[in-house]
Amino acid sequence: MHSVFIDELDAQTYAEHVARTGSTIIIPAGATEQHGPHMPLGVDAMLSRSIAEAVAQLTGALVAPALCYGYKSQPRSGGGNHRVGTTSLGGTSLSLMVEDVVASFISQGFDNVVLLNGHFENYQFLYEGVDNAVAKTRTAGSTARAILLSYWDFVDENTLAKVFPDGFLGWDIEHGGILETSLMLLLHPQLVDMDRVIDHPPAKLTAYDIFPEDPARTPDSGCLSSAKGATAERGQLLFETVTDQVAQALKGELLLGDVNIEVN
């Protein structure tokens, strides 16, 4: 039995997976970013990696090492790039890194490359990198395909109603809130301290950005909403929905290999 994580495979076993028809690699993308006093800096990469693992087991894919640095945290979605613990890449650096990594996997022989994003601010820069990599490798004769997605876009209305029985206030204030904390309580409970959750009203965000950033615009906790209602049970609902829906999307869009490969 082999791991789905390529950094845990020997080169020969890895090459055998790459050579299969429909070979697929999932690249988790996250950030190193503060998530309040109750969670670690690596939440975004940890969650995207765990979701990628589950999706890989459902689709026969492999999982690459996570991209652990992301684009700059912003006050209207992540608390702000000025906060201690948040260590970011500029947009050009992130796009170029993604372009090189995706192009390398395609040149090695993967038929499909999937970018599974776990950090809100990353998306457009991941898009730039993936788009350029596919264009470059197509010119060289590749027929490989790529998919870019953010896991929260697969949370349906029914699941949202169960996780947020008092009403869902929007994705823009979910940084360090119930969604991420619930998933962490399910997947990495030893890294969450619910006694340190600061219960405060949702941040009141403007419809514009100001430069330089004003720390007073977001709560001192670093979170844009309270995680008080987070539970592992709610995390389970989210996790099951996301992994199933992402796997179904990949099966619908890509020619995948044999799901019954030897992985654990």
Domain boundaries, the chain: 6-255
| Catalytic site positions | 33, 35, 44, 119, 121, 175, 180
- From residue 61, alpha-carbon distances to 6, 52, 247, 260 in Å are 10, 9, 10, 10
Spatial CA neighbour of 45 closest among 114, 99, 117: 117
Please name the residue ranges forming H helices in the chain.
11-18, 43-59, 91-108, 123-139, 157-163, 178-187, 232-253
Report the helix count and the strand count for the chain, using DSSP H and E.
7, 4
CB 63, CB 26: distance < 8 Å: yes
The reported pTM is: 0.95
What pLDDT is stored for residue 133 in this prediction?
98
Burial letters 122-139, b for 16+ CB under 10 A, else e: bbebbebbbbbbbeebee
* Per-residue pLDDT tens digits of the chain, which is 264 residues long: 689 999 999 999 999 999 999 999 999 999 999 999 999 999 999 999 999 999 999 999 999 999 999 999 999 999 899 999 999 999 999 999 999 999 999 999 999 999 999 999 999 999 999 999 999 999 999 999 999 999 999 999 999 999 999 999 888 899 999 999 999 999 999 999 999 999 999 998 899 999 999 888 889 999 999 999 999 999 999 999 999 999 999 999 998 976 554 544
State both tokens at 170: 């929007």
- Give me the pLDDT at residue 29, please: 98
- 107 phi/psi in degrees, rounded to 5: -65, -25
Classify residue 264 by burial, with Cβ atoms within 10 Å: 0-12, 13-18, 19+. exposed
* Domain 6-255 part of CATH 3.30.450.90: no
